[in-house]
Homo-oligomer: A and B are copies of this chain.
Amino acid sequence: MSRFKVLIVEDEPVIAENISIYLDNNDFEVSAIAYDSDEAMEELQKNTPDAVILDINLDSEIDGIDIAAYINKEIQIPFLFLTSYSDKNTLDRAKAVKPSGYIVKPFNEKTLLASLEIAISNFASENNQLQPRLSMEKINRHLLSPLTSREFELVQLVYDGVSNSQIAAQSFISPNTVKTHLKSIYLKLDTNTRYRLIVRLREWMAK
């Protein structure tokens, strides 16, 4: 696998250089170093990285948190804050843009590296399974009498938008049997149409 491209946004050249060298020695590719917000925005657009390390204070109109907001809106890649400031005010503003991490200077290089790896890993898996799979456990939590395993199989198909006849075909049972199962399912789930079943399941999986 090719190395992950990381953009460093940091106005102090010495620190930026240090980070760059350190990342380069540890299986990351530094796509660029941006010393101010303009450079950062440009880099984000024309040479989009896989992750970003963001200093918050850049003594310009736009600060690191603004850049983060832009990333969330337009690019959707993970980012870490790396900053000297951890006062309540700054932290509260930072919370709003949902950073993958927040590291306060002076920082432990290993912490930076580990945080970066975790951020990338978490971000990737979030995007792949933000489609929560149905969990029989979670469903039964809401039920008086739990679903049988067969019923759960059918529920999964319904949840994926499969029609009764299709379910019958790929489950090797009669369409009538599918209907019979659905009746018990509706009874247990206290529902009466397949689309309301889907909506209910979506809600239950979300929490």
* Residues of A near any B CB (own CB < 8 A): 86, 91, 94-95, 98-99, 101-108, 110-111, 113-115, 117-118, 121-122, 125, 127, 130-132, 158-161, 163, 193-196, 198-200, 202-203, 206-207
Contact = CB atoms under 8 A, between A and B. Distances in A.
A118 B107 CA distance: 17
A200 to B, nearest CB: 7
B111 A161 contact: no
A140 to B, nearest CB: 15
A95 B107 contact: no
Given A130-B132, A203-B131, A111 B102 contact: yes
Given A94-B118, A127-B207, A207-B130, A106 B108 contact: yes
Given A161-B196, A203-B131, A118 B102 contact: yes
Contacts of A127: 207
A202 to B, nearest CB: 6
A167 to B, nearest CB: 12
Q: Lowest 8 CB-CB distances: which A-B pairs, in order?
A: A161-B199, A104-B110, A102-B114, A195-B195, A95-B121, A131-B206, A161-B196, A104-B111
A22 to B, nearest CB: 13
Nearest to A132: B130
A139 B159 CA distance: 20
Given A101-B101, A202-B202, A207-B130, A95 B117 contact: yes
B101 A86 contact: no
Contacts of A159: 199
Contacts of A101: 101, 115, 118
A103 B111 contact: yes
Contacts of A125: 98
A199 to B, nearest CB: 4
B102 A122 contact: no
Given A104-B108, A199-B161, A200-B161, A206 B98 contact: no
